[in-house]
Chains A and B, each alone.
Chain A
Amino acid sequence: MAATALCWALRAVQQVLPSPCPRQVRSYYVDWRMLRDVKRRKMAYEHADERLRINAIRKNSILPKELQEVADKEIAALPRDSCPVRIRNRCVLTSRPRGVKRRWRVSRIVFRHFADHAQMSGVQRAMW
């Protein structure tokens, strides 16, 4: 369920499907912040290997310190958006940065809305 929602949300830049069957296709991202978050995720994916290797050299007690200092400078020279720390798990449907449940990737308000309409699989109102 979460996977399908994410797929629909991230199809913003692609064309509308040529098949005639009517389906909700997202043509835009919710807001610019969501777009920037998408860019950061792509950059982080591209530079992930390099960052891993350079960090392996840095966080080391075997190699000489001079080498590690050089590695420090190298990793700082990489583009700022390539680090995974800058990614924020926003709500997929409303782009809300806070109150997002990780399993469903939606904010708490959207989650409540769908769950009350019985559109969340296996989610029920708690009563005990």
Chain B
Amino acid sequence: STSSGLSKDKDKSAASEDSTCEGAAKKQEDGAETPKQKLLNIIGNMKVEVTYRKKLQQLKASESEKQAVKKLEDLDSEGSVPQGITEDTQRGKPLNPELVKAASAVASSLPRNKKQTESELLAQLRRHEETTDKQKKGGTINIRNVISEMTVKRQSPAQRGARISGRISLQLDEDGQRRRRERSSAQSVDSRSLKVGKRLNIFTKASTEPEHALKTVSSPTIWDLEFAKEVAAVTAQPPRNGFEEMIQWTKEGILWEFPIDNEVGMEDDAEFHEHIFLEKHLEGFPKEGPIRHFMELVICGLSKNPYLSVKQKVEHIEWFQNYFEEKKELLQEI
């Protein structure tokens, strides 16, 4: 059970060594403790955000301490640490020295062959670094390798498109020509000239596509519209059955959409109080007299009308206002 616990710790530390750089430094401070306790400290004090300068200073301060401790405990692990460092420098990509030291500590804590485990851990670390760097650069090489290894059972999209276009034109051709086309398409699948094989990644594709898309969207010329109309007219085949006829009618607006929506075309976003309480529109009218009486009746009628929108009601009231203002002279004579 102790060995399994230790292996678990090893896995955890190997997986999260990118984030436990500070843990390694902390471990170095506790020089007098055993490596097992050091590991437990690493796992227990996991923090993510620590500046690199602090880590370096801590490293330099506690390097000598750590080396002394190591000499006391294991001679082999100390020998393996400089080996690991030399290996890294040979590879050309220097790993984080704290990670290296953490790996060495983990290896030293295990009972088995420490050199082997240490080298394996360092190799894993290197792989992690490589993958993260690749993903940062945006290299999708690994995915492509995986896809190229997979067997392609279906046709490629280009061939599929060619077959569909062939079918559309084949409706007019004779039977002999149809068979010829099928044979040639089968042969092109068998020969596998251009589309198979690993890519060299010489040309970069993805950057140019979105620019082109933006350019075409911003300027649809009249010729483009006419071409689109032509294409639509040519491809619009007569409906094969009643369902397609009904679909076409619905698109044209002849047939309503089912289930029937009673409020199609009626987009009245106003609340109920705007329909009913129309007295605020009566501010332009005199407060007494027959006109006010008349307008109050008008408003009462409008508030009970569910068929008009608020705009229409307001237009009614405004028309009355204009009308009575024009007739002011007449009214004053009375």
Known: A20-B236, A53-B316. A4 touches B254 (CB 8 A): yes
Task: Indicate if the CB atoms of A64 and B290 lie closer than 8 Å.
Answer: yes
A77 at the interface (CB under 8 A from B): no
Nearest neighbor of A52 in chain B, beta-carbon distance: B316
Task: Indicate if the CB atoms of B238 and A53 lie closer than 8 Å.
Answer: no
A2: B residues at CB distance < 8 A: none
Known: A64-B290, A66-B330. A19 touches B316 (CB 8 A): no
Chain B: interface secondary structure?
A: helix
A66: B residues at CB distance < 8 A: 330, 333-334
B233 at the interface (CB under 8 A from A): yes
B95 at the interface (CB under 8 A from A): no
- The count of residues in chain B whose C-beta lies closer than 8 Å to any C-beta of chain A is 23
Please provide the chain B residues from 216 to 250 with a CB less than 8 Å away from any CB of chain A in the complex.
Answer: 229, 233, 236, 238-239, 248
A7 at the interface (CB under 8 A from B): yes
B298: A residues at CB distance < 8 A: 56
A126 at the interface (CB under 8 A from B): no
Q: How far is the CB of A44 from chain B (nearest CB, A)?
A: 17
Please provide the chain A residues from 60 to 89 with a CB less than 8 Å away from any CB of chain B in the complex.
Answer: 60, 62-64, 66-67, 70
Task: Indicate if the CB atoms of B294 and A21 lie closer than 8 Å.
Answer: no
Known: A53-B316, A53-B319, A53-B320. A60 touches B236 (CB 8 A): no
Task: Indicate if the CB atoms of A53 and B323 lie closer than 8 Å.
Answer: yes
Task: Indicate if the CB atoms of B330 and A67 lie closer than 8 Å.
Answer: yes
Identify A70's interface contact among B248, B297, B327, CB under 8 A: B327
B200 at the interface (CB under 8 A from A): no
A57: B residues at CB distance < 8 A: 294, 323
B233: A residues at CB distance < 8 A: 18-20
User: In the complex, A18 Cα to B231 Cα: how many Å?
Assistant: 12
Task: Indicate if the CB atoms of B236 and A21 lie closer than 8 Å.
Answer: yes
Nearest neighbor of B301 in chain A, beta-carbon distance: A56
User: In the complex, A18 Cα to B233 Cα: how many Å?
Assistant: 7
A22: B residues at CB distance < 8 A: 238
Task: Indicate if the CB atoms of A20 and B238 lie closer than 8 Å.
Answer: yes
Please provide the chain A residues from 4 to 25 with a CB less than 8 Å away from any CB of chain B in the complex.
Answer: 4, 7, 18-22
Looking at A18, A21, A67, A70, which has the most chain B CB atoms within 10 Å of its CB?
Answer: A67
Task: Indicate if the CB atoms of A67 and B238 lie closer than 8 Å.
Answer: no
Q: What are 6 A-B contacts defined by CB distance under 8 Å? A: A18-B229, A21-B248, A49-B319, A56-B298, A67-B327, A70-B330
Q: B residues near A, CB below 8 A?
A: 229, 233, 236, 238-239, 248, 254, 290-291, 293-294, 297-298, 315-316, 319-320, 323, 327, 330-331, 333-334
